[in-house]
Each structure stands twice: as structure tokens, then as C-alpha cells.
Structure 1
């Protein structure tokens, strides 16, 4: 049911599972929210019981934003892979499907049960151990969306290795820099990749270029995805299948402290060097699993599909860790929304009877342009909740998503969060929240957003608009920038003392709804991917004919923001079509295709 108040549509919850929803109405939301902010330690101690602990924590939280010190569940001992796999099998659910893999080719798919996942994860954990990987070692993963990626992640967590996943479209230069920043001991990749019409993405050969200058790498494990011929360096490079054939499928999980590192994930900063966001074990898993269950109203038996790439935080938290900790069936998709046609998402929804669907506004804008026929020819009656992530969603695509994809019967959870936050911070809840197209609505439990003016004063009244910050910590919060805690403090805590500054602007309307207005620092949001202007400027400046470059964002119909580059060439150099192409290629080479400028303007 829709109301229009002050020209803004308000959608009352119209949720088919409302009667059994975890949070059935706003009264329940407010009651739990109040408790979560008045007694955060008591609240999060209660939520932490959702995991299996080898030893309970000594203190729930120990946080100080003025010193950039964040600790949750100190003294607690657990293992992530045990919580995502073993405990479900011990409870009698070993035959339940854990992972549905949908290949790029619509005729290729695969299912892995919880028992099968544990067997594969244990085998690869033993492979890593037999090649000298131990607790605390960093493991780089550079893959497309294939099941071995999920297996490799969980295998790292089983033995306490710290994974660093590099998005499969990143260039050799970007891969090399990320390997070297955290001194990874091994790299896991694949021969070549398939994605959409690309049938031969050069994964191993890209990795080989990166590995020319990565002194810490001792071994490379290569998954055979396509069977393409690739070069294999004797003794260093090992075939995944050969290693797995000889591996034992029993590997006891290593006891980890709640504050031991779980993974590093690089994200763009406002300076040129990407930041290695460090997440730890206990608090992250509590937060990822709790938000996954509440925000999507996950119920046992639901088929859950987040369309993100695991190379980004959304894939870490809401394809792997949150869903598997909750014993969900999670779908992993190798392909793209427009292959073999623009109906692929909805074909997959129909094929696998997907109940919860989570995607990015960029994808929706691209699909909306192609008309409704690609959507309506597929049965979407299984869907009960729709979600969006990565950037603010505008009203036209929100309405299209609601009316056409969701047949005006599915609540939309428009979620706001960041790589740094580990999980969702501001969001509607399916059965409880009246939604407004484009608003992330209200804070999740335990989350205390504030709007600050440029001097750091809190703006208390509604409506208000300014800079979005967080007043208190939550368990999923990042703990540091790998190897550079000073930069962590400088980036997030130095500007406004006692607050975590998100880098985003926001407004709160008269009803208290939060609307994210976009980045206020030198970071662009292109198709839901964060790109630092300094990083792109540096890549353009690496072209020998470029004297200087300045990069800004501009409104883009599909990507949300596009990359607009102002370029000054060296004296005496004339701008030609070749120069334009070469500059774009230089950016692709140094960062990846997703950072390539949409428009280049040459300045005198």
C-alpha cells in the first residue's frame, strides 16, 4: 500500500512472511533498537550466542574512537569455518545445499552440500598446510566467481591464514601492489576465466606479470576452469586438482582469538595507495550473520542470492560468511546480467526458485533500459525480499524494481554500508519499515549514526543535512589498515574527534529517515565500486605524454557516477585519437577496466 506525503511516496510493509518475520513491526524494531544502544555490551553478548565458541570472551567491547582502538569479544576463541560448516553437519544438516553455483553458461550449474563443502575445504586447508602456510600467513586469491574461490576462503579460515581477495578484473599492476602490501606467501588463481561474452579472461597470465615483482610469493595454486594452455613455472606453480587428489579430507579447525585477523580487503582511498581494510574473526562473524538474518528476514529453507562479486566486501559478508554461518543456501553467479540476454537474472531466479535477491542499482539501471519483457517472461513468484547495495538508489529504478521485478508485492531493503563497516548499518527491515524510494531509512540495531556540520557539531533536529558519522562502535567495524594504523586513525578518526567519519554526506528528513547524498571526499562511486581520484590521476599521469591530470565524477545514467578526466599534455604534444585510447589503456593496465575514464577533456 502506497501513501504520498509531501510529494514523497511512502510504501507500507507488504510482506508475505510478516507473521513469522524476525522483526514483525516497528514496535519490535524500536524496542530492540533502544535496548541495543542503551546496553550495547549486553545486547551484543546476547547476539554473539548465535555462534559456537570454543571459549567465551572475557570482555564484550573495548573501544576508543579517539585512539582508533576497536576490540570486540576479547579472549573469546572460535573458528570461522567451523561456524560456517561443521556445526551445521553436527546438527544433522550435512545434506542441505550450502552453495548453488550458476555458471556463465546457463546450462552449467553445480550444488555443494554442507558435507561436500567441508570435505573440499578441509582438503584445501591440508594442501595449504603441506605447502608451509600457517596461522597468520597471508594468502592472495585472484579468481573469477567459481566454487573454488569459496572453498579457498574457508580453507584459509580453517587454519588461521589471512585471505586477501583481489577482484578478478584488477590489472597485473594492481594485483602486484596488493600482494606486496601484505607480503602474501601464496597466490590462488585459475587458468582463464569466462564472463558474459568473454570466454578467455587471462587470469594466470595476468598473475604471471604481477608475479615478476612479488618476492614474498612461494607458491601459486591454479584451478583449471577452461583448460586453456597457460605457462606453469616448475616447482612454484601447482595445479589445484593434482594437489586435491592427494589431500586428506579431515583437517581440525584451528582455535582463533576473536581479535585474530580474518581477512584483508583493499579499497580505494582519497590518496593514491589503496587501503588494506583489516577485519578480525569474532565480531565480524557475529555482525555478518546477524545482519544477514535480520535485514533479509532469512528463514530456514530460503534460497538466497546476492549478485555481487566476492572480490568486494558485499560478496565476503553476504555471499559467504553471513549466509553460511546461518546455514543458508547461498547462490554464487559466475556470469553477468546481460548474457546470454538481459533476462539472465530473472531466468536464474526462476530456475533456482530464489527467495531473496540482493543486487546493485547499476545493474537495475542497465536492465531497466532494456524494457520489461526480459523480466516478465520469467516466473519471479518465489521472490519475497528484494535488496540493493553499493550506492544510493534513485526513485525511477527503485519504482521499476518494486513494480516490475517485485510485482508490487516485495519489500525493498535499500542497504547502506561500506567495506570498512563489515556489514549493513542503515536499512529497512522487510516486515517493519515503511519505505521511501531512495532512502536507506533507519539504523540497524546497535548502530548510532549522527549528522555533523563541518565543524564537527551534531545536528539534532529534523530535517538536517551534513556529514555522516558514527558515534559508537559495532562488532563488524574494521580494526585497522593493514600495516598502517596511523593512516587508519588519520582517515577515519582525526577529522572529528570521538566519531568514525564515513566519508559520506547524508540528510535526515522530518520523519528521521536517512538519505545518503554521496561521497564528500575524493572517492568516486562508479557502478558501486569505490575509486580514488588520486589513484586514477596517478595512472593517467603515468602516460609519458601527460603533464598533469585532474579527475572528477559526473552523473552517469547507468554507473551512477562516471569518471571525467581533465588532462594537460606535455609541451609540444598534440592530442589525437591515439592519445585518448592510450590514456584509457594506461588506466586499464594500472588499475583495471572498471576505472577507465568515460570522458577525457584535454586542457591547454
Structure 2
């Protein structure tokens, strides 16, 4: 690439290019010529009980991909590896906070999933049933997901850091008949009593028939809910084969936050999601069969679904995942893990990079990171300083001799797989996430759907569906239709963006009031509802402000109920904060609680959070003509 074509002075050293495989430009050109033929060609790499012959069937807002095809995602993720030479290859490498390791081969994982599926079948779980999984980041959580998929049941994983209220709401919305949980999870050496949370969440939910409990430490003496079934008992009923389902059959419902801040259950399917997520694992992340792929997410989020469980297993890779914080029990544990297991590709969040940037390069001393080929980041904006630090200290530098490249990319729970990115072969432009990937028709437009000139801020849209996209929102078809009809150009991502003259796109932030804390999207309404449920709080509004470590930190503005004003200096803020922690979990706990006497509102009563945000950042609040007098 000549200097004239470089969007930035940074380039990909030849020492890195020699380690990479494939050419993204060929795929981009093929997908542009004939998108259906391109995706059908990718689909042929998977196991089908009936091979599809159709690509996209599109009647906006409704789509189908490979609709005449039949499969089960576990056939590609498990069966084809377990019956071949990959049977003895490590499928999962799991580490505890204390670096206790468990290695599970494809053959072992296949058997355990078949047995767990057979056990769930004895509980009455069949194709189409919903099962909520509230598990720590352990192999048992992965097995539970795959066992549901094997039966054609629809799983809904709830992050094990969320509290009673959030879990109950998701169980109710999903209409789950079975909940799977564990006695405890670990976080920084402390035990989290998951069973107590799950038991309380289902206490008044008569529709839940069984609470499956995996007891990992077996030391709690407690009274069990009458519906409790031991996890071990699932494995005593033989083995269950994969139930063939239509490519459009739901695989899972995963709750995320929409433009209103209310959780919404995003539906993904067996066929298209399998094809798209696995394709990008190979093409964008350069992961190959036999690679060790370290993903630092959790199964409670979309990254954990796509890149701890389904795509790496479908690709025949070895996925490494770890329960616990990246700097616990000491700051060097993360890099000992990379060195010890010869990690080839690392998928992490900018939050983690900023954490290690804060700790300084001394943490890396003595650790050989040369096995790394690609370091992929997503979850929130990868700021230029963090990119440069990671490229310098983790990837071997910015010049010839580097052994890896740090890449940025963007996607959403709704999209299932990356949409924009800086391919390892492309020059990085720090501050820009990258270009549209193969098969993606993304653009920056105004509110009327007209394409905006380079350098002008607008709405990020997708003009055409991709196979990995959601097929609906559980119980809310109107909300699903809205994302495809609100802007004439296509799917409205909810993010503001700007495009440069080289086609690189920078994500500027949410156009709505969804908070992004350490890569986790949290609904403002969720946090506000939890705040107002405290007996001292009459009204609340929350905003996100920039945080060097977490991307955003939550600031809550609360109006107190009459009679509580004199308690502000006597631990009231701590009480409110603990209440939110219990209801929603630690990740949603405000970093600051400000007691106010009024909130800025429009004349119709809508809280103007942008005014609060501008005040917090010392910025001009802009047009205030609609502000209540």
C-alpha cells in the first residue's frame, strides 16, 4: 500500500502480514456482486440435514436466511468434530480465579452435552420451550446452552452479575418453564450466592416448573425450593441426538437495552447466526481450526454467545475462557495465561486494555506474548491512546518486527456478529472502528435516510440484512419493526457515526439514552426504575459520563421523597446505591448519586438527560426551547 492510500501513518508490518491468512477484498467484491451467492457459499462450510438453496428472503422488516435449509447448530459445533480427528482436540480450556484449569476435548464435550440434553428432555423440555440460564462463567454454563440448542429449545442466558429484579423480569418475559443455576459464582475471591438470587426470583412465578441446581462447592446448608433438581441428575438418562430444525428456528433470546432503555429480548436463529458469526471469526479475527482463542467476555453477553460458545466450536478452534477479573489474584495473571496456553487470538474489551495501560508495562515483564497474532477489541470505543499502547506493548510495536496487530470492530447484540471493523490486513486509523465488512451495506445518513457527505455526523444504518441479524424481539413485534422503519435508509443502529474519505467509520456514541459501562449496555430506565423503588427516592434520572477505565460511569440524579432530606448525610446515598446493586447487580450501580430538587424536563414531562450530561461535562446544553419553564 502506497503512502497516498494510507488513511493514517500507521501500517501493518510485513512481519504481521506473513502470519495472516485470506484476503478480505476478494470476499467484499464477491459479496457486492451477488450477496445471496456469497452467503450460500459460506453456508456450505457447515453441517445441514437439508442443504439450503435460497439466501435472503426479504419483506421489510421481516427477513429469512437459508429458509429452505434444515440443521441444528450443535451438528456443526460438536458432532462433526467429535466423529473425526478433532475428537481429542481441546474444545474448551477453562480457568478459575485461582488458575485451576479444566480442559475438555470435543469428544468429551459432545458426550456431556448429549447427556445434559437427555436430562432436560426428561424435565419436559422440547423444541421451542424457553430455558433461562443463570450460571457463572464455567463449562457447565456452556454445556447448558448447547444442551438446550441440541433439543431445539430456546435458551436465554442472564448474566450472573444481575440481581433478583432483573432476573425475575427476564424469566417472566421469556416465559421460561425451566431455570438453570449454580450455588455460587466467584468474583475477586468472594462468593456470589446465585441460588439465593434465583430462588427469590422465581418464588412467585408459578410458570417455572424446575430449578436445576449445579452445586460446585456443596457447603451451603439451606432449604431448597421444592422445584429444585440436581444438575448431576441430568446426566443419568442416556444421550440425546440433535433435533433437526429449520434454519430460521430460534436458537436463543438474549436481553439487551433499546432506545427506551427497557430490556428487549433479541431473537437469534440456528442457521444465519451460525454462518455469519463463524465466518467473521475466521475472516476478521483470523481464527483457524486448532488455534487457541482467548475471549474475555461472559456467556451472559452477545460476545460470549458468539465468541465463547458457538462460532469457535463451529470453527473447530480451542476456546479459552476464565472466570474472574483480569487483574485478580494479581495483575500478571492475564499475561501468564496468554503465555502458558500459547494464545493466538485475543478478544477483549477496551476497558481491559485501559486497565493494563493504567497498571503500566511492568506488568508485562517476563511474559512471552509472541504467540499472539491478532488482538481484537469491541464493546465500547477503542480510544487512540489505548490502541497505540496495546500495539506497542502487547503486539510488538508499530514498526517492522511486530508479531501481532490490534484491531477494532463494531457490532451489537441485535447484529450477532461484526459489521464494521479494521481487518488485520488494513491500516489502522485510531479513533475509527473501520470499514464495512464483506456482505455488509452500512452507511451514515440523515433522519430522512439521505447519505451524508464524508466528515458529517449522522445515523449509522444498514441498508440490507445480514445473516447474523436478529429475527425479532420476543413479545414485541412493533419494537422490532421500528428499527427497520424509523429511518427510510434501513436498519437504524441507534449510534451516531461519521465516515472519512477512505470509507472508515467512527462511532460517536448512542443517539438514545442507553448507558455503556465496561462494554455492557444498560438501560437508563432499568436503573431509574431501581432507584425509584427505593423508599426514599421520588424521581430519578441517570446519565453516563466518560470514564477512563469503564468507558462510561453512571451518575444518578435523584429527588428525595418528603421526610428523607435530613438523611442525606447519614448513609442515604450508600443505602440507595446498595439497593440498585441488589436489584440490578454491580455493573449497574451508580458511581455517583447526586441529590437534586428538580430535573430538567420538557413541557410534556420528558426528562432532558442531555441537559444533565452537558452540565456534568461543562458543555453547552444546546437548544432549550422545549424546556419546562
TM-score, normalised on structure 2? 0.91
Tell me the SS of whatever aligns to 2:272: helix
SS of 1:421's equivalent? coil
What is the rounded CA distance, in whole Å, between the counterparts of 1:299 and 1:508 in structure 2? Answer: 31
Change (3 A) 1:272 1:385: closer
Alignment of 1:188-207 (within 5 A): 188-198=180-190, 200-207=191-198
Residue 393 of structure 2 corresponds to residue 404 of structure 1:
yes
Q: In structure 2, do the counterparts of structure 1 residues 21 and 399 end up closer, same or farther at CA, with 3 Å as the change threshold?
A: closer
Matches of 2:521 and 2:39, distance apart in 1? 30
How many matched pairs?
A: 590
1:541 is aligned to 532
Please name the residue that 2:616 is paired with.
Answer: none
Select 2:548's aligned residue among 535, 545, 557.
557
Matched, 1:140 2:132: yes
Number of the residue aligned with 2:415: 421
Please list, as runs of the form range in 1=range in 2, the aligned pairs for 1:356-505 lying within 5 A after superposition: 356-408=345-397, 409=402, 410-430=404-424, 432-459=425-452, 461-490=453-482, 492-505=483-496
Alignment correspondent of 2:497: 506
User: Which stretch shifts more, 255-264 or 576-585?
Assistant: 576-585
Alignment partner of 1:158 is 2:150: yes
Aligned equivalents of 1:10 and 1:517: distance in 2?
Answer: 22
Q: What is the match of residue 507 of structure 2?
A: 516
CA distance in 2, matches of 1:447, 1:314: 19
1:44 is matched with which residue? 39
CA distance in 2, matches of 1:583, 1:334: 29
Q: Does 1:103 align with 2:96?
A: yes
Helix, strand or coil: the match of 1:517? strand
Q: Shift of the alpha carbon at 1:4?
A: 12
The correspondence of residues 176-195 of structure 1 with structure 2, limited to 5 A, is 176-195=168-187
| Alpha-carbon distance change, 56 to 536 in structure 1, aligned in 2, over 3 angstroms | same
Distance change (3 Å), C-alpha of 1:234 and 1:386: closer
C-alpha displacement at 1:59, in angstroms? 2.5
SS at match of 2:435: coil
Structure 2 residue aligned with 1:341, among 305, 327, 330?
Answer: 330
After superposition, the C-alpha distances for 1:31-58 in whole angstroms (9 at most, x for unaligned) are: 3212212311111111111111111225
Contact 1:182–1:482 (CA under 8 A) maintained in structure 2: yes
Distance 1:379 1:31, change over 3 A: closer
Secondary structure of 2:62's aligned partner = coil
How far apart are 1:499 and its partner, in Å? 0.6
CA distance in 1, matches of 2:219, 2:3: 57
Q: Which moved more, 1:207-216 or 1:113-122?
A: 207-216
Q: For residue 217 of structure 1, what is the aligned residue in structure 2?
A: 208
SS in 1 for 2:422: coil
Q: 1:73 aligns with which of 66, 71, 75?
A: 66
CA contact (8 A) 2:120 2:234 kept: no
By how many angstroms is 1:513 displaced?
A: 0.8
How far apart are the structure 2 equivalents of 1:135 and 1:297?
34
State the match for 2:615 in structure 1.
Answer: none
Distance in 2, Cα, partners of 1:5 & 1:260: 44
Which residue in the other structure is 1:284 paired with? 273
Aligned residues of 1:164 and 1:265 also touching (Cα < 8 A): yes
Please name the residue that 1:274 is paired with.
263
Q: Give the aligned partner of residue 304 of structure 1.
A: 293
Following superposition, the deviation at residue 16 of structure 1 comes to 4.6
1:301 is displaced (CA, Å) by 2.3
- CA displacement at 1:586 relative to structure 2: 2.1
Shift of 1:382: 1.0
Return the offset for 1:528: 0.6
Q: Which moved more, 1:227-236 or 1:40-49?
A: 227-236
Instruction: Give the conservation status (yes or no) of the 8 Å contact 1:463–1:512.
Output: no
Give the distance between the partners of 1:373 and 1:247, measured in 2 at CA. Answer: 52
Does 2:574 correspond to 1:581?
A: yes
CA distance in 2, matches of 1:230, 1:133: 29
In structure 1, the residue corresponding to 2:359 is in which secondary structure?
coil
| Counterparts of 2:593 and 2:5, CA distance in 1 | 42
Q: Match of 1:83? A: 76
Deviations 1:212-271 (A, max 9, x none): 122221111111222231535365212212432x232x3221011000000000002233
Contact preservation (8 Å) 1:269, 1:523: yes
1:305-340: CA deviation from partner (whole Å, max 9, x where unpaired): 111011000000011111100000111211211111
Query: Which structure 2 residue ranges, 5 or more long, are not aligned?
Result: 598-629
d(CA) in 2 for partners of 1:169, 1:4: 49
Matched, 1:23 2:54: no
Counterpart contact for 1:414–1:438, Cα < 8 Å: no
Asked if 2 retains the 8 angstrom alpha-carbon contact of 1:193 and 1:226, the reply is: no
Q: Give 1:527 deviation, angstroms.
A: 0.8
- Summarize deviations over 1:275-313 as a string: whole Å, max 9, x none: 000001100000111011111111232111111011000
Which residue of the partner structure matches residue 13 of structure 2?
14
Q: Deviations over 1:77-100 (max 9, x none)?
A: 001111101111233221111111
| 1-structure distance, mates of 2:110, 2:516 | 37
Match of 2:199 among 208, 224, 229: 208
Q: Does 1:528 align with 2:519?
A: yes
Mapped pair 1:317 → 2:317: no
Q: Normalising by the residue count of structure 1, what TM-score does the alignment of the two structures yield?
A: 0.94
Distance 2:173 2:214 in 1: 24
For structure 1, which segment, 229-238 or 480-489, has the greater mean C-alpha deviation from structure 2 after superposition? 229-238
> Matches of 1:581 and 1:307 in 2, distance apart?
31
